[in-house]
Structure 1
Amino acid sequence: MKALLVLAALIQVGEAQLGAAEFKPVACEGSCPQHLQGIAADDSALYWSFTTELVKTDLHGKRLKTIKVVTHHGDLCVNAGKLYVAVNLGKFNDPKGKGDSWIYVYQADGFEFVERHPVQEVFHGAGGVEFKDGRFFVVGGLPADLQENYVYEYDATFRFLKKHTIPSGQTHLGIQTVAFANGRWWFGCYGQPAILLVTDADFRMLGRYEYNCSLGIAGLPDGRFLSATGCTDKVNGCTGKIRIAEVDEKAGLRIVAE
Protein backbone atom coordinates (compact mmCIF):
# COMPACT_ATOMS: atom_id res chain seq x y z
CA MET A 1 0.00 0.00 0.00
CA LYS A 2 2.80 2.40 0.88
CA ALA A 3 4.49 1.79 -2.49
CA LEU A 4 1.25 2.59 -4.29
CA LEU A 5 0.89 5.84 -2.38
CA VAL A 6 4.46 6.85 -3.28
CA LEU A 7 3.80 6.09 -6.96
CA ALA A 8 0.58 8.11 -6.87
CA ALA A 9 2.43 11.05 -5.36
CA LEU A 10 5.08 10.91 -8.08
CA ILE A 11 2.43 10.86 -10.79
CA GLN A 12 0.85 13.98 -9.29
CA VAL A 13 4.11 15.93 -9.62
CA GLY A 14 4.51 15.26 -13.30
CA GLU A 15 6.08 11.81 -13.67
CA ALA A 16 2.99 10.24 -15.29
CA GLN A 17 4.73 9.89 -18.66
CA LEU A 18 7.17 7.45 -17.03
CA GLY A 19 4.61 4.85 -16.05
CA ALA A 20 5.20 1.23 -16.98
CA ALA A 21 8.43 1.43 -18.99
CA GLU A 22 11.34 -0.70 -17.82
CA PHE A 23 14.37 1.57 -18.05
CA LYS A 24 17.84 0.08 -18.27
CA PRO A 25 21.33 1.49 -18.90
CA VAL A 26 21.61 2.47 -22.56
CA ALA A 27 23.98 4.23 -24.94
CA CYS A 28 22.72 6.65 -27.57
CA GLU A 29 23.45 5.22 -31.01
CA GLY A 30 26.06 7.17 -32.97
CA SER A 31 27.67 10.49 -32.12
CA CYS A 32 27.03 14.24 -32.44
CA PRO A 33 29.28 17.25 -33.09
CA GLN A 34 28.75 18.83 -29.64
CA HIS A 35 28.47 17.38 -26.16
CA LEU A 36 25.39 16.15 -24.35
CA GLN A 37 23.44 18.81 -22.42
CA GLY A 38 20.47 16.91 -21.01
CA ILE A 39 18.04 14.01 -21.26
CA ALA A 40 14.32 13.36 -20.92
CA ALA A 41 12.14 10.25 -21.20
CA ASP A 42 8.63 8.97 -21.61
CA ASP A 43 7.23 5.44 -21.81
CA SER A 44 8.32 4.90 -25.40
CA ALA A 45 11.44 6.98 -26.03
CA LEU A 46 14.52 8.74 -24.74
CA TYR A 47 15.33 12.32 -25.74
CA TRP A 48 18.89 13.66 -25.88
CA SER A 49 20.01 17.27 -26.31
CA PHE A 50 23.51 17.52 -27.84
CA THR A 51 23.90 21.34 -28.00
CA THR A 52 23.28 21.59 -31.77
CA GLU A 53 21.27 18.40 -32.33
CA LEU A 54 18.20 16.84 -30.76
CA VAL A 55 18.11 13.05 -30.84
CA LYS A 56 15.23 10.68 -30.15
CA THR A 57 15.97 7.02 -29.50
CA ASP A 58 13.96 4.04 -28.42
CA LEU A 59 14.50 2.68 -24.91
CA HIS A 60 17.40 0.58 -26.22
CA GLY A 61 19.28 3.59 -27.65
CA LYS A 62 18.42 3.04 -31.34
CA ARG A 63 18.05 6.35 -33.16
CA LEU A 64 14.55 7.19 -34.32
CA LYS A 65 14.94 10.88 -35.18
CA THR A 66 17.68 13.52 -35.30
CA ILE A 67 17.38 17.21 -36.15
CA LYS A 68 19.89 20.04 -36.19
CA VAL A 69 19.10 22.97 -33.91
CA VAL A 70 20.59 26.35 -33.07
CA THR A 71 23.34 26.56 -30.51
CA HIS A 72 22.95 26.43 -27.54
CA HIS A 73 20.17 23.89 -26.84
CA GLY A 74 20.51 22.80 -23.22
CA ASP A 75 18.66 20.52 -20.81
CA LEU A 76 15.07 19.58 -21.66
CA CYS A 77 11.88 18.06 -20.31
CA VAL A 78 8.90 16.27 -21.86
CA ASN A 79 5.28 17.00 -20.98
CA ALA A 80 1.99 16.14 -22.67
CA GLY A 81 3.63 15.03 -25.90
CA LYS A 82 5.91 18.03 -26.27
CA LEU A 83 9.59 18.68 -25.63
CA TYR A 84 10.63 21.88 -23.88
CA VAL A 85 14.27 22.85 -24.29
CA ALA A 86 16.19 25.63 -22.55
CA VAL A 87 17.99 27.68 -25.21
CA ASN A 88 20.48 30.52 -24.84
CA LEU A 89 21.26 32.54 -27.96
CA GLY A 90 23.47 34.99 -26.10
CA LYS A 91 26.44 34.87 -23.75
CA PHE A 92 26.51 32.55 -20.75
CA ASN A 93 27.66 33.57 -17.27
CA ASP A 94 28.05 37.26 -18.05
CA PRO A 95 27.80 39.51 -14.96
CA LYS A 96 25.90 42.11 -17.00
CA GLY A 97 23.30 39.59 -18.14
CA LYS A 98 24.05 39.29 -21.86
CA GLY A 99 22.22 35.97 -22.16
CA ASP A 100 19.34 35.69 -24.63
CA SER A 101 17.12 33.07 -23.00
CA TRP A 102 14.27 31.09 -24.58
CA ILE A 103 12.28 27.90 -24.26
CA TYR A 104 11.93 26.11 -27.60
CA VAL A 105 9.01 23.70 -27.97
CA TYR A 106 8.92 20.64 -30.24
CA GLN A 107 6.50 17.81 -30.81
CA ALA A 108 7.97 14.79 -29.04
CA ASP A 109 6.72 12.42 -31.74
CA GLY A 110 8.45 13.83 -34.81
CA PHE A 111 10.43 16.85 -33.52
CA GLU A 112 8.30 19.35 -35.43
CA PHE A 113 9.00 22.85 -34.14
CA VAL A 114 5.95 24.29 -32.36
CA GLU A 115 6.91 27.66 -30.91
CA ARG A 116 9.36 29.44 -28.67
CA HIS A 117 8.87 31.52 -25.54
CA PRO A 118 11.12 34.28 -24.20
CA VAL A 119 12.44 33.74 -20.66
CA GLN A 120 14.67 36.76 -20.56
CA GLU A 121 14.48 36.92 -16.77
CA VAL A 122 17.07 34.10 -16.77
CA PHE A 123 19.81 36.68 -16.46
CA HIS A 124 22.94 34.58 -17.06
CA GLY A 125 21.59 32.36 -19.85
CA ALA A 126 19.00 29.56 -19.77
CA GLY A 127 20.52 26.10 -19.50
CA GLY A 128 17.79 23.74 -18.27
CA VAL A 129 14.04 23.43 -17.73
CA GLU A 130 11.70 21.20 -15.71
CA PHE A 131 7.91 20.96 -15.48
CA LYS A 132 6.17 20.56 -12.12
CA ASP A 133 2.55 21.05 -11.01
CA GLY A 134 1.55 23.02 -14.11
CA ARG A 135 4.56 25.31 -14.03
CA PHE A 136 7.96 25.51 -15.66
CA PHE A 137 11.21 26.07 -13.78
CA VAL A 138 14.30 27.32 -15.62
CA VAL A 139 17.93 27.21 -14.48
CA GLY A 140 21.07 28.57 -16.06
CA GLY A 141 24.52 30.09 -15.90
CA LEU A 142 26.36 31.85 -13.09
CA PRO A 143 29.36 34.21 -12.97
CA ALA A 144 32.32 32.97 -10.94
CA ASP A 145 31.97 35.57 -8.17
CA LEU A 146 28.42 34.63 -7.09
CA GLN A 147 27.76 32.23 -4.22
CA GLU A 148 24.12 31.35 -4.93
CA ASN A 149 22.15 29.86 -7.78
CA TYR A 150 18.77 30.91 -9.18
CA VAL A 151 15.64 29.16 -10.41
CA TYR A 152 13.08 31.09 -12.46
CA GLU A 153 9.44 30.03 -12.20
CA TYR A 154 6.88 30.45 -15.02
CA ASP A 155 3.26 29.48 -15.45
CA ALA A 156 2.06 27.12 -18.20
CA THR A 157 2.09 29.96 -20.74
CA PHE A 158 5.57 31.13 -19.68
CA ARG A 159 4.40 34.18 -17.82
CA PHE A 160 7.13 34.95 -15.30
CA LEU A 161 6.10 34.34 -11.69
CA LYS A 162 9.08 34.32 -9.37
CA LYS A 163 12.85 34.10 -9.00
CA HIS A 164 14.02 31.59 -6.38
CA THR A 165 17.43 31.77 -4.72
CA ILE A 166 19.39 28.68 -3.67
CA PRO A 167 22.12 29.29 -1.04
CA SER A 168 24.30 26.69 -2.74
CA GLY A 169 27.72 28.31 -2.80
CA GLN A 170 29.52 28.76 -6.10
CA THR A 171 29.04 26.06 -8.75
CA HIS A 172 31.08 26.23 -11.95
CA LEU A 173 28.97 27.95 -14.64
CA GLY A 174 25.80 27.63 -12.58
CA ILE A 175 23.31 24.77 -12.94
CA GLN A 176 23.33 22.58 -16.05
CA THR A 177 20.55 20.02 -15.48
CA VAL A 178 17.42 19.85 -13.35
CA ALA A 179 14.82 17.31 -12.25
CA PHE A 180 12.07 17.22 -9.65
CA ALA A 181 11.61 13.75 -8.16
CA ASN A 182 10.89 12.12 -4.80
CA GLY A 183 9.62 15.45 -3.50
CA ARG A 184 12.99 17.12 -4.05
CA TRP A 185 14.84 19.21 -6.61
CA TRP A 186 18.01 17.72 -8.11
CA PHE A 187 20.47 20.03 -9.86
CA GLY A 188 23.51 18.87 -11.83
CA CYS A 189 26.51 21.21 -11.96
CA TYR A 190 29.90 21.21 -13.66
CA GLY A 191 33.12 21.37 -11.69
CA GLN A 192 36.22 19.46 -10.65
CA PRO A 193 34.61 17.53 -9.07
CA ALA A 194 31.14 17.92 -10.54
CA ILE A 195 28.46 18.82 -7.99
CA LEU A 196 24.92 17.66 -7.29
CA LEU A 197 22.70 20.08 -5.38
CA VAL A 198 19.57 18.78 -3.64
CA THR A 199 16.85 21.02 -2.22
CA ASP A 200 13.35 20.54 -0.91
CA ALA A 201 10.34 21.59 -2.98
CA ASP A 202 10.78 25.19 -1.78
CA PHE A 203 14.47 25.36 -2.75
CA ARG A 204 15.85 25.04 0.77
CA MET A 205 19.23 23.29 0.68
CA LEU A 206 19.26 19.64 1.72
CA GLY A 207 22.69 18.65 0.46
CA ARG A 208 25.68 19.35 -1.78
CA TYR A 209 27.41 16.23 -3.10
CA GLU A 210 30.30 15.21 -5.34
CA TYR A 211 28.23 13.42 -7.96
CA ASN A 212 28.17 14.05 -11.70
CA CYS A 213 24.75 14.39 -13.34
CA SER A 214 25.71 17.58 -15.19
CA LEU A 215 24.90 15.96 -18.55
CA GLY A 216 21.38 14.88 -17.64
CA ILE A 217 19.12 13.62 -14.87
CA ALA A 218 15.49 12.44 -14.80
CA GLY A 219 13.44 10.82 -12.04
CA LEU A 220 11.67 7.47 -12.39
CA PRO A 221 8.39 6.50 -10.68
CA ASP A 222 10.09 3.81 -8.60
CA GLY A 223 12.35 6.42 -6.94
CA ARG A 224 15.42 5.71 -9.05
CA PHE A 225 16.99 8.05 -11.63
CA LEU A 226 18.25 8.18 -15.15
CA SER A 227 21.74 9.69 -14.87
CA ALA A 228 23.56 10.70 -18.05
CA THR A 229 27.23 10.67 -18.90
CA GLY A 230 29.12 11.16 -22.13
CA CYS A 231 32.45 11.37 -23.92
CA THR A 232 33.88 14.03 -26.22
CA ASP A 233 36.28 13.00 -28.99
CA LYS A 234 37.58 15.53 -31.51
CA VAL A 235 37.79 12.81 -34.17
CA ASN A 236 34.75 10.62 -33.47
CA GLY A 237 32.37 13.19 -31.99
CA CYS A 238 30.38 13.25 -28.78
CA THR A 239 28.45 10.37 -27.29
CA GLY A 240 25.87 9.90 -24.54
CA LYS A 241 24.96 7.14 -22.15
CA ILE A 242 22.26 6.72 -19.50
CA ARG A 243 22.89 4.80 -16.30
CA ILE A 244 20.53 3.97 -13.44
CA ALA A 245 21.11 5.66 -10.08
CA GLU A 246 19.42 5.55 -6.71
CA VAL A 247 19.30 7.83 -3.69
CA ASP A 248 22.25 7.55 -1.33
CA GLU A 249 22.10 9.54 1.90
CA LYS A 250 25.88 10.05 1.99
CA ALA A 251 26.61 10.53 -1.72
CA GLY A 252 23.33 12.05 -2.90
CA LEU A 253 23.02 9.52 -5.71
CA ARG A 254 24.95 6.41 -6.63
CA ILE A 255 25.07 4.36 -9.81
CA VAL A 256 23.43 0.94 -9.43
CA ALA A 257 23.42 -0.19 -13.07
CA GLU A 258 26.02 0.68 -15.70
Structure 2
Amino acid sequence: MMRQVLILPMALLVLPALYAGDFGDVACEGTYPQHLQGLCVDESAIYWSFTTRLVKTDLGGKVLAQVVVADHHGDLCHRDGKLYVAVNLGKFNDPKGNADSWVYVYDARDLSLLARHEIQEVFHGAGGIEFRDGRFFVVGGLPDGVPENHVYEYDGDFKFIKKHDVKSGWTQLGIQTAAFAGGRWWFGCYGDPKILLVTDADFNLIGRYEFDASLGIVGLPDGRFLAASGRTDKATGCSGSARIAVADEKSGLRSEEK
Protein backbone atom coordinates (compact mmCIF):
# COMPACT_ATOMS: atom_id res chain seq x y z
CA MET A 1 0.00 0.00 0.00
CA MET A 2 1.42 3.38 -0.96
CA ARG A 3 1.89 5.59 2.05
CA GLN A 4 0.19 8.95 1.68
CA VAL A 5 1.12 11.80 3.97
CA LEU A 6 -0.49 15.18 4.43
CA ILE A 7 1.60 17.54 6.55
CA LEU A 8 0.97 21.22 7.02
CA PRO A 9 3.87 23.72 7.12
CA MET A 10 6.16 23.32 10.13
CA ALA A 11 5.16 26.72 11.46
CA LEU A 12 1.71 25.29 12.13
CA LEU A 13 3.13 22.20 13.83
CA VAL A 14 5.19 24.04 16.43
CA LEU A 15 2.54 24.59 19.08
CA PRO A 16 2.93 25.94 22.61
CA ALA A 17 2.53 23.60 25.57
CA LEU A 18 -1.10 23.55 26.65
CA TYR A 19 -2.88 22.28 29.72
CA ALA A 20 -5.89 20.14 30.53
CA GLY A 21 -8.15 23.19 30.72
CA ASP A 22 -7.56 23.80 27.02
CA PHE A 23 -9.36 20.58 26.10
CA GLY A 24 -13.04 20.76 25.28
CA ASP A 25 -15.68 19.23 23.06
CA VAL A 26 -14.14 18.83 19.62
CA ALA A 27 -14.92 17.51 16.14
CA CYS A 28 -12.18 16.06 13.96
CA GLU A 29 -11.94 17.90 10.65
CA GLY A 30 -12.81 15.85 7.56
CA THR A 31 -14.38 12.51 6.79
CA TYR A 32 -12.70 9.14 6.31
CA PRO A 33 -13.42 5.83 4.54
CA GLN A 34 -13.84 3.80 7.75
CA HIS A 35 -15.06 4.51 11.24
CA LEU A 36 -13.29 5.87 14.30
CA GLN A 37 -11.59 3.26 16.50
CA GLY A 38 -9.94 5.36 19.22
CA LEU A 39 -8.13 8.53 20.21
CA CYS A 40 -5.34 9.76 22.45
CA VAL A 41 -3.77 13.13 23.26
CA ASP A 42 -0.62 14.97 24.21
CA GLU A 43 -0.26 18.56 25.43
CA SER A 44 -1.15 20.12 22.10
CA ALA A 45 -2.67 17.54 19.78
CA ILE A 46 -5.33 14.86 19.46
CA TYR A 47 -4.63 11.64 17.56
CA TRP A 48 -7.51 9.79 15.91
CA SER A 49 -7.50 6.24 14.51
CA PHE A 50 -10.03 5.81 11.68
CA THR A 51 -9.30 2.11 10.94
CA THR A 52 -7.24 2.81 7.79
CA ARG A 53 -6.28 6.44 8.50
CA LEU A 54 -4.23 7.84 11.36
CA VAL A 55 -4.98 11.54 11.87
CA LYS A 56 -3.35 14.25 13.98
CA THR A 57 -5.28 17.41 14.81
CA ASP A 58 -4.82 20.39 17.05
CA LEU A 59 -7.06 20.69 20.10
CA GLY A 60 -9.70 22.42 17.98
CA GLY A 61 -9.89 19.51 15.54
CA LYS A 62 -7.93 21.06 12.65
CA VAL A 63 -5.96 18.41 10.76
CA LEU A 64 -2.17 18.72 11.05
CA ALA A 65 -1.17 15.41 9.46
CA GLN A 66 -2.67 12.13 8.29
CA VAL A 67 -1.38 8.84 6.89
CA VAL A 68 -2.92 5.79 5.25
CA VAL A 69 -2.40 2.71 7.45
CA ALA A 70 -3.08 -1.02 7.35
CA ASP A 71 -6.56 -2.36 7.96
CA HIS A 72 -7.31 -2.63 10.83
CA HIS A 73 -5.78 -0.02 13.16
CA GLY A 74 -7.65 0.14 16.46
CA ASP A 75 -7.37 2.18 19.64
CA LEU A 76 -4.09 3.89 20.48
CA CYS A 77 -2.08 5.55 23.25
CA HIS A 78 0.64 8.22 23.45
CA ARG A 79 3.92 7.80 25.29
CA ASP A 80 7.11 9.91 25.13
CA GLY A 81 6.44 11.36 21.70
CA LYS A 82 5.30 8.10 20.15
CA LEU A 83 1.93 6.61 19.28
CA TYR A 84 1.25 2.95 19.98
CA VAL A 85 -1.64 1.47 18.01
CA ALA A 86 -3.32 -1.92 18.51
CA VAL A 87 -3.49 -3.56 15.08
CA ASN A 88 -5.18 -6.76 13.91
CA LEU A 89 -4.33 -8.08 10.44
CA GLY A 90 -6.30 -11.32 10.71
CA LYS A 91 -9.83 -12.37 11.68
CA PHE A 92 -11.10 -10.32 14.59
CA ASN A 93 -13.18 -12.12 17.21
CA ASP A 94 -12.66 -15.53 15.65
CA PRO A 95 -13.28 -18.29 18.25
CA LYS A 96 -10.39 -20.33 16.84
CA GLY A 97 -7.95 -17.48 17.31
CA ASN A 98 -7.14 -16.74 13.67
CA ALA A 99 -6.16 -13.19 14.53
CA ASP A 100 -2.83 -11.57 13.67
CA SER A 101 -2.15 -9.11 16.48
CA TRP A 102 0.47 -6.36 16.43
CA VAL A 103 1.39 -3.01 17.92
CA TYR A 104 2.50 -0.40 15.38
CA VAL A 105 4.59 2.52 16.64
CA TYR A 106 4.50 5.97 15.04
CA ASP A 107 6.35 9.24 15.56
CA ALA A 108 3.78 11.64 17.02
CA ARG A 109 5.38 14.60 15.20
CA ASP A 110 4.70 13.49 11.61
CA LEU A 111 3.01 10.05 11.96
CA SER A 112 5.92 8.23 10.35
CA LEU A 113 6.09 4.51 11.14
CA LEU A 114 8.90 3.62 13.54
CA ALA A 115 8.41 -0.02 14.51
CA ARG A 116 6.07 -3.02 14.61
CA HIS A 117 5.81 -5.55 17.44
CA GLU A 118 4.10 -8.94 17.26
CA ILE A 119 1.71 -9.66 20.13
CA GLN A 120 0.20 -12.95 19.05
CA GLU A 121 -0.85 -13.76 22.60
CA VAL A 122 -3.89 -11.52 21.99
CA PHE A 123 -5.88 -14.53 20.82
CA HIS A 124 -9.03 -12.91 19.40
CA GLY A 125 -7.40 -9.83 17.86
CA ALA A 126 -5.82 -6.68 19.30
CA GLY A 127 -8.28 -3.79 19.52
CA GLY A 128 -6.98 -1.29 22.10
CA ILE A 129 -3.90 -0.36 24.09
CA GLU A 130 -2.90 1.68 27.15
CA PHE A 131 0.38 2.39 28.96
CA ARG A 132 0.79 2.34 32.74
CA ASP A 133 3.86 2.19 35.01
CA GLY A 134 6.28 1.01 32.35
CA ARG A 135 3.94 -1.62 30.92
CA PHE A 136 1.62 -1.83 27.94
CA PHE A 137 -1.84 -3.37 28.29
CA VAL A 138 -3.70 -4.65 25.23
CA VAL A 139 -7.41 -5.48 24.93
CA GLY A 140 -9.33 -7.07 22.11
CA GLY A 141 -12.05 -9.36 20.84
CA LEU A 142 -14.34 -11.78 22.68
CA PRO A 143 -16.44 -14.47 20.95
CA ASP A 144 -20.14 -14.77 21.66
CA GLY A 145 -21.06 -16.15 25.05
CA VAL A 146 -17.63 -15.95 26.70
CA PRO A 147 -18.31 -14.55 30.20
CA GLU A 148 -15.12 -12.58 30.83
CA ASN A 149 -12.82 -10.23 28.98
CA HIS A 150 -9.03 -10.37 28.91
CA VAL A 151 -6.23 -7.81 29.21
CA TYR A 152 -2.76 -8.75 27.99
CA GLU A 153 0.22 -7.21 29.78
CA TYR A 154 3.59 -6.53 28.08
CA ASP A 155 6.82 -4.88 29.19
CA GLY A 156 8.24 -1.81 27.46
CA ASP A 157 9.81 -3.98 24.74
CA PHE A 158 6.57 -5.94 24.20
CA LYS A 159 7.71 -9.09 25.91
CA PHE A 160 4.58 -10.86 27.12
CA ILE A 161 4.10 -10.88 30.90
CA LYS A 162 0.60 -12.01 31.81
CA LYS A 163 -3.04 -12.31 30.77
CA HIS A 164 -5.50 -10.70 33.19
CA ASP A 165 -9.13 -11.82 33.37
CA VAL A 166 -11.90 -9.25 33.84
CA LYS A 167 -15.06 -10.82 35.25
CA SER A 168 -17.25 -8.44 33.31
CA GLY A 169 -19.77 -10.73 31.68
CA TRP A 170 -19.88 -10.97 27.89
CA THR A 171 -19.56 -7.74 25.89
CA GLN A 172 -20.09 -7.51 22.13
CA LEU A 173 -16.76 -8.00 20.32
CA GLY A 174 -14.89 -7.70 23.63
CA ILE A 175 -13.25 -4.43 24.68
CA GLN A 176 -12.63 -1.74 22.06
CA THR A 177 -10.93 1.07 24.00
CA ALA A 178 -8.92 1.39 27.19
CA ALA A 179 -7.71 4.14 29.52
CA PHE A 180 -6.15 4.18 32.98
CA ALA A 181 -7.03 7.29 34.97
CA GLY A 182 -7.82 8.17 38.56
CA GLY A 183 -6.50 4.82 39.78
CA ARG A 184 -9.05 2.91 37.68
CA TRP A 185 -9.31 1.18 34.33
CA TRP A 186 -11.99 2.40 31.92
CA PHE A 187 -12.95 0.06 29.08
CA GLY A 188 -15.29 1.01 26.23
CA CYS A 189 -17.40 -1.75 24.67
CA TYR A 190 -19.87 -2.10 21.82
CA GLY A 191 -23.44 -3.30 22.34
CA ASP A 192 -26.98 -2.00 22.43
CA PRO A 193 -26.69 -0.11 24.68
CA LYS A 194 -22.95 0.59 24.63
CA ILE A 195 -21.19 -0.58 27.80
CA LEU A 196 -18.49 1.03 29.93
CA LEU A 197 -16.56 -1.32 32.24
CA VAL A 198 -14.72 0.18 35.21
CA THR A 199 -12.22 -1.85 37.26
CA ASP A 200 -9.67 -1.15 39.94
CA ALA A 201 -5.95 -1.15 39.14
CA ASP A 202 -5.87 -4.95 39.43
CA PHE A 203 -8.80 -5.50 37.03
CA ASN A 204 -11.39 -6.27 39.70
CA LEU A 205 -14.74 -5.11 38.37
CA ILE A 206 -16.15 -1.98 40.03
CA GLY A 207 -19.10 -1.42 37.73
CA ARG A 208 -20.73 -2.04 34.37
CA TYR A 209 -22.48 1.07 33.05
CA GLU A 210 -24.45 2.26 30.05
CA PHE A 211 -22.08 4.89 28.65
CA ASP A 212 -20.59 5.06 25.17
CA ALA A 213 -16.79 5.11 25.21
CA SER A 214 -16.51 2.42 22.53
CA LEU A 215 -14.87 4.72 19.95
CA GLY A 216 -12.28 6.22 22.28
CA ILE A 217 -11.59 7.32 25.83
CA VAL A 218 -8.63 9.12 27.36
CA GLY A 219 -8.01 10.64 30.78
CA LEU A 220 -6.92 14.27 31.03
CA PRO A 221 -4.47 15.63 33.64
CA ASP A 222 -7.22 17.44 35.57
CA GLY A 223 -9.30 14.28 36.12
CA ARG A 224 -11.73 14.83 33.25
CA PHE A 225 -12.00 12.59 30.18
CA LEU A 226 -12.44 12.84 26.44
CA ALA A 227 -14.97 10.29 25.22
CA ALA A 228 -15.22 9.82 21.45
CA SER A 229 -18.18 9.29 19.18
CA GLY A 230 -18.59 8.98 15.43
CA ARG A 231 -21.01 8.93 12.54
CA THR A 232 -21.03 6.98 9.30
CA ASP A 233 -22.68 8.38 6.19
CA LYS A 234 -22.65 6.20 3.07
CA ALA A 235 -22.48 9.30 0.86
CA THR A 236 -19.83 11.35 2.67
CA GLY A 237 -17.85 8.92 4.84
CA CYS A 238 -17.07 8.60 8.54
CA SER A 239 -16.55 11.42 11.02
CA GLY A 240 -15.34 11.59 14.60
CA SER A 241 -15.76 13.85 17.59
CA ALA A 242 -15.14 13.83 21.33
CA ARG A 243 -16.86 15.34 24.33
CA ILE A 244 -15.69 16.13 27.83
CA ALA A 245 -16.89 13.65 30.45
CA VAL A 246 -16.44 13.37 34.21
CA ALA A 247 -16.49 10.42 36.57
CA ASP A 248 -19.79 9.61 38.22
CA GLU A 249 -20.35 6.95 40.87
CA LYS A 250 -23.83 6.12 39.56
CA SER A 251 -23.21 6.14 35.83
CA GLY A 252 -19.47 5.54 35.56
CA LEU A 253 -19.00 8.61 33.38
CA ARG A 254 -21.33 11.40 32.35
CA SER A 255 -21.03 14.33 29.98
CA GLU A 256 -19.71 17.45 31.69
CA GLU A 257 -22.39 19.96 32.55
CA LYS A 258 -22.04 23.27 30.74
Q: Shared fold by TM > 0.5?
A: yes
**One-letter code aligned to 2:254:** R
What does the per-residue CA deviation read over 1:133-159, in whole Å, with 9 as the maximum and x for residues that have no partner?
Answer: 000000000000201000000000000
* Distance (Å, rounded) in 2 between the aligned partners of 1:230 and 1:241: 6
CA contact (8 A) 1:25 1:257 kept: no
**One-letter code aligned to 1:41:** V
* TM-score after normalising by structure 2: 0.92
CA contact (8 A) 1:243 1:257 kept: no
CA contact (8 A) 2:20 2:220 kept: no
**One-letter code aligned to 2:249:** E
Please state if 1:142 is matched with 2:168.
Answer: no
Deviation at 1:256, TM superposition (A): 1.2
CA contact (8 A) 1:18 1:221 kept: no
* Distance (Å, rounded) in 1 between the aligned partners of 2:96 and 2:145: 13
Q: Which residue of 2 aligns with 1:114?
A: 114
Q: Which residue of 2 aligns with 1:45?
A: 45
Deviation at 1:96, TM superposition (A): 0.8
* TM-score after normalising by structure 1: 0.92
Distance 1:150 1:127, change over 3 A: same
**One-letter code aligned to 1:152:** Y
Runs of 4+ in 1 over 3 A off after TM superposition: 17-21
List aligned pairs for 1:65-214, cutoff 5 A. 65-214=65-214
Deviation at 1:22, TM superposition (A): 1.3
CA contact (8 A) 2:21 2:222 kept: no
Q: Which residue of 1 aligns with 2:31?
A: 31
Deviation at 1:20, TM superposition (A): 5.0
Aligned residues: 242
* Distance (Å, rounded) in 2 between the aligned partners of 1:257 and 1:192: 25
Deviation at 1:246, TM superposition (A): 0.3
**One-letter code aligned to 1:146:** V
Deviation at 1:18, TM superposition (A): 8.1
CA contact (8 A) 1:244 1:257 kept: no
SS in 2 for 1:127: strand
* Distance (Å, rounded) in 2 between the aligned partners of 1:21 and 1:251: 23
What is the alpha-carbon root mean square deviation over aligned residues? 1.2
Deviation at 1:167, TM superposition (A): 0.4
* Distance (Å, rounded) in 1 between the aligned partners of 2:205 and 2:250: 15
Deviation at 1:21, TM superposition (A): 5.6
**One-letter code aligned to 1:38:** G
CA contact (8 A) 2:33 2:238 kept: yes
Deviation at 1:223, TM superposition (A): 1.0
CA contact (8 A) 1:21 1:44 kept: no
Deviation at 1:222, TM superposition (A): 1.2
Deviation at 1:103, TM superposition (A): 0.0
Q: Which residue of 2 aligns with 1:246?
A: 246
